[in-house]
Amino acid sequence: MARERHRPGREAAVSALLETVDVTKRYLDGERRHLAVDRVSITIDAGSLVALRGPSGSGKTTLLGLLGGMIAPTSGDVRVEGESIVHLRDRHRTELRRTKIGFVFQELALVPDMTLDENVLLPLVPTGGATRDERARATSLLERFGLASKAKARASKLSGGERQRGAIVRALVRDPRVLLLDEPTAHLDAANATEVVALLAALRDEGRAIVCATHDPRLADDPRVDRAIAMADGRLVTPPNG
């Protein structure tokens, strides 16, 4: 089921930031082929918070990976700000991913033996480390997310909620316009889940496109979510762009 919320006065600011056109991903699993995402066309606007829901194995994580250029499609197109990322050379795709897209994926959790501030600056290491502005930005993000006092704590000593907020800060350190999150409220208690949803809504209000794969009704049914899109067997259950 796709659900749309109308926000009066927001139309002028809205424009397509992310788009897939008939995108398909087929995994080769030994001799077997598995169709994880099947001809999905979806448009995600700037300034929108989207929940992607569906049963386990329906293709949510794969679609997130396709949207972020981390997974190469078998066919179809993926566009960021109107530019196809499918045919970009690897170097350009990596650069685009670094600058425009933030990921918070379950398997990319914080490094337990590093401090929170080291974790947050980690995405900047491949390009020569943080500049003074980037350090200042990381500090102000940690403050904004209520983590300033934990900056020097090892990630292994943080609570689940602090780790999740820390992972979101890390994804924001380059100030991307697109944020993709896999199960951002899983394993959080009610108070922490509510806080994460409020933070995502605030980041949406700054004009970002935010897509969350989620099983969690505390997120998918929250009134601050603009669209809840359901997947089943690799397909969108209802038209996504209405």
Ligand X SMILES: Nc1ncnc2c1ncn2[C@@H]1O[C@H](COP(=O)(O)OP(=O)(O)OP(=O)(O)O)[C@@H](O)[C@H]1O
Q: Name the nearest CA neighbour of 103 among 61, 143, 161.
A: 61
Kindly state the tokens that stand for 94. 């990596």
Q: Which is nearer to ligand X, 59 or 76 (CB)?
A: 59
CB of 62 to ligand X, least distance (A): 3
User: Contact between 23 and ligand X (CB under 6 A)?
Assistant: no
In the region spanning residues 42 to 61, those forming contacts with ligand X, defined by CB under 6 A, are 54, 56-61
| Binding residue (CB under 6 A) for ligand X from 27, 140, 156, 159 | 27
Residue 35 and residue 12 in contact, taking contact as beta carbons nearer than 8 Å: no
Which helix (H) or strand (E) covers residue 196, if one does? helix 190-205
Q: Which is nearer to ligand X, 53 or 137 (CB)?
A: 53
Pairing of strands 75-80, 83-84: antiparallel
Q: Which is nearer to ligand X, 115 or 185 (CB)?
A: 185
In the region spanning residues 189 to 228, those forming contacts with ligand X, defined by CB under 6 A, are 213
| Binding residue (CB under 6 A) for ligand X from 36, 42, 130, 147 | 36
Residue 27 and residue 194 in contact, taking contact as beta carbons nearer than 8 Å: no
Residue 238 and residue 231 in contact, taking contact as beta carbons nearer than 8 Å: no
Q: Which residues bind ligand X (CB under 6 A)?
A: 27, 29, 34, 36, 54, 56-62, 213
